[in-house]
Amino acid sequence: MNTAANPELAGRPDGWWRSAVVYQIYPRSFQDSNGDGVGDIPGITSRLEYLAELGVDVIWLSPVYRSPQVDNGYDISDYQDVDPLFGTLADLDALIAAAHQRGIKLVMDLVVNHTSDQHAWFAQSRDPASAKRDWYFWRPARPGCEPGTPGAEPDDSHAAFAPSAWTYDPASGEYYLGIFSPGQPDLNWENKDVRQAVYAMMRWWVDRGVDGFRMDVINLISKPAELTAGGPIEPGQGSLRRVANGPRLDEFLAEMNREVGLDEHNLLTVGEMPGATVEVAQRVTDPARHELNMVFTFEHVNLDQVGWNKWDLADLPLPVLKGNLASWQDGLAEAGWNSLYYDNHDQPRAVSRFGDDSPEHRVDSAKTLATVLHLHKGTPYIYQGEEFGMTNAPLTRIEHYLDVESLNYHALATAAGVSEEQVLRSLAAKSRDHARTPVQWDATDNAGFTTGTPWMPVNPNHDQINADAARHDPDSVFAHFQKLIRLRHSNETVQEGRFQLLLPDHDQLWTFTRTHGDETLLVVANCSSEPVEIPTDGLPRLDGAELLLGTHPDAAATTLAPWESRILRL
DSSP for 221-287, written as a single string: SS--HHHHT-S-----S-HHHHHTT-TTHHHHHHHHHHHHTTTTTT-EEEEE-TT--HHHHHHHH-G
Q: Cα 135 to chain center, whole Å?
A: 27
State in angstroms the smallest separation of the CB of 47 from ligand NOJ: 22
Cα-based torsion angle of the residue sequence 113, 100, 105, 205 in order, rounded to the nearest 10 degrees: 20
Toward ligand NOJ, which CB reaches closer, 91 or 346?
346
State in angstroms the smallest separation of the CB of 346 from ligand NOJ: 5
From the candidates 75, 155, 174, 272, give the one annotated as an active-site residue: 272
Toward ligand NOJ, which CB reaches closer, 429 or 539?
429
Q: Are 189 and 195 in contact (CB under 8 A)?
A: yes
Toward ligand NOJ, which CB reaches closer, 10 or 162?
162
State in angstroms the smallest separation of the CB of 405 from ligand NOJ: 7
Toward ligand NOJ, which CB reaches closer, 71 or 357?
71
Cβ burial 116-135 (10 Å sphere, 16+ → b, else e): bbbbebbeebbeeeeebbeb
| Rg of the chain (C-alpha set) | 24
Toward ligand NOJ, which CB reaches closer, 216 or 433?
216
DSSP secondary structure code for residue 425 in this structure: H
- Residues 493, 546: Cα–Cα separation, whole Å: 15
Q: Cα 306 to chain center, whole Å?
A: 21
Specify whether 272 is catalytic.
yes
State in angstroms the smallest separation of the CB of 250 from ligand NOJ: 21
Give me the residues that bind ligand NOJ (CB under 6 A), please: 71, 74, 111, 180, 216-217, 272, 345-346
State in angstroms the smallest separation of the CB of 521 from ligand NOJ: 32
CA atoms within 13 A on the CB side of 397: 2
Report the sign of the C-alpha dihedral through residues 426, 429, 432, 433, in that order.
positive
State in angstroms the smallest separation of the CB of 497 from ligand NOJ: 30
**What stretches of 261-308 show up as alpha helix (H) in DSSP?**
278-285
- Residues 237, 164: Cα–Cα separation, whole Å: 10
Closest by CA position to 45, among listed 6, 100, 127: 100
From the candidates 153, 216, 346, 564, give the one annotated as an active-site residue: 216
Specify whether 207 is catalytic.
no
Residue 227 has phi, psi (to 5 degrees) of -90, -40
Toward ligand NOJ, which CB reaches closer, 404 or 509?
404
Classified as helix, coil or strand, 154 is: coil
Which residue is at the shortest CB distance from ligand NOJ? 74
| Residues with a known catalytic role | 216, 272
